[in-house]
């Protein structure tokens, strides 16, 4: 639970989804579409959406590269925080914005999970914020319904994990409190996460989900995405590019 008093509200923090940051990102359009879905879900539930925009020597303020991508438009009254460091809290107005909104819980999403998003997560932990949901940007089939299942399954204290289809990586981790266990990244993070939770004695909920469970790291996983039912932007691109159905063994591995 949050260590911040009188902070009952939740905010969605959208970090650095800017033209120059995501221009060359793998599955750029699918990542942006997923983030847009999170923003819309937050708005529907009257959750505060806070936008973070980075600038530095390589990303000049006011340039086209600096601007938030055209698909994501901050709403009227939604705060925009400008930053110059990886941690969105460092030398910015973010803390005062969250205090004004009585926010004690953060959901963080955005570009460059291994850089500014990760730094911002750490900044939130040390300042006492609760319940950070971390989802890689390479999961093109994620849906708001699956996210709702994760949130609904969360114990008051404990961890929810959605493993990758091969049960090697952790594609989604929700922790209460947010510093209950350290995060790991990479293909073999699932079992270490489970062991870390067991050592705390807190509940561990493992959810198998077809959307969150499929992250795209290898060529055969693009083939698996192609074969899945659905009509997402990423799947339409694969069909347009002429990808073939996956080998039987790869499809069976996906369950």
Looking at residue 52, which CATH number applies to its domain? 3.40.50.850
Q: Which helix (H) or strand (E) holds 81?
A: strand 80-83
203 and 94 fall within a common domain: no
Cα–Cα distance for residue pair 14/33, rounded to 1 Å:
13
- Kindly report the CA angle at 144 between 237 and 31, in degrees rounded to 5? 35
Count of residues making up the chain: 255
Segment 191-200 shows an average pLDDT of 95
Cα–Cα distance for residue pair 212/210, rounded to 1 Å:
6
Q: What is the pTM of this model?
A: 0.58
Of 125, 21, 112, 107, which is closest to residue 64 (Cα–Cα)?
21
225 and 170 fall within a common domain: yes
In a domain, 237, yes or no: yes
95 and 117 fall within a common domain: yes
In a domain, 208, yes or no: yes
| 15: pLDDT strictly greater than 80 | yes
Q: What is the DSSP track for 133-169?
A: EE--S--TT--HHHHHHHHHH--SSEEEEEE-TTSSS
Which of 79, 101, 130 is the endpoint of a domain? Answer: 130
Indicate the SS3 state at residue 253: helix
Which of 75, 96, 130 is the endpoint of a domain? Answer: 130
142 and 230 fall within a common domain: yes
Q: What is the pLDDT of residue 119?
A: 76
In a domain, 25, yes or no: yes
Cα–Cα distance for residue pair 176/243, rounded to 1 Å:
41
120 and 145 fall within a common domain: no
Q: What is the mean pLDDT of the chain?
A: 84
In a domain, 251, yes or no: no
Indicate the SS3 state at residue 90: coil
Of 109, 22, 90, which is closest to residue 59 (Cα–Cα)?
22
In a domain, 204, yes or no: yes
Q: What is the pLDDT of residue 245?
A: 55
168 and 68 fall within a common domain: no
- pLDDT, one tens digit per residue, over 128-186 is 887 565 565 677 787 767 877 887 888 889 999 999 999 998 888 888 876 788 877 66
Q: Which residue has the tokens 């600038």?
A: 55
- pLDDT, one tens digit per residue, over 221-248 is 888 888 887 777 777 877 787 766 544 4
In a domain, 106, yes or no: yes
Owning domain of residue 229:
138-241
Look at the chain and report how many structural domains it folds into.
2
């Amino acid at each position: 639970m949050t260590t911040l008093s009188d902070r009952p509200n939740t905010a969605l923090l959208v970090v650095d989804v800017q033209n120059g940051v995501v221009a060359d990102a793998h599955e750029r359009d699918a990542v942006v579409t997923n983030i847009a879905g999170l923003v819309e879900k937050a708005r529907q539930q009257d959750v505060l959406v806070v936008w973070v925009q980075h600038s530095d020597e390589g990303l000049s303020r006011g340039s086209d590269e600096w601007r938030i991508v055209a698909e994501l438009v901050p709403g009227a009254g939604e705060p925009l925080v400008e930053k110059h460091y990886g941690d969105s809290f460092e030398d910015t107005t973010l803390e005062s914005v969250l205090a004004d909104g009585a926010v004690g819980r953060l959901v963080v999403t955005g570009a460059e999970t291994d850089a500014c998003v990760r730094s911002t997560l750490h900044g939130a932990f040390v300042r006492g914020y609760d319940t950070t949901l971390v989802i890689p940007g390479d999961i093109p089939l994620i849906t708001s319904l699956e996210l709702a299942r994760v949130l609904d399954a969360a114990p008051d204290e404990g961890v929810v994990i959605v493993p990758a289809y091969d049960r090697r990586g952790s594609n989604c981790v929700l922790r209460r409190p947010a510093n209950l266990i350290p995060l790991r990244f990479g293909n073999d993070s699932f079992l270490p996460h489970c062991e870390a939770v067991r050592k705390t004695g807190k509940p561990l909920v493992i959810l198998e989900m077809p959307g969150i469970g499929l992250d795209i790291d290898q060529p055969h996983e693009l083939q698996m995405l192609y074969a899945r039912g659905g009509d997402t932007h990423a799947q339409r691109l694969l069909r347009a590019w002429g990808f073939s159905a996956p080998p039987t063994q790869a499809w069976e591995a996906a369950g």
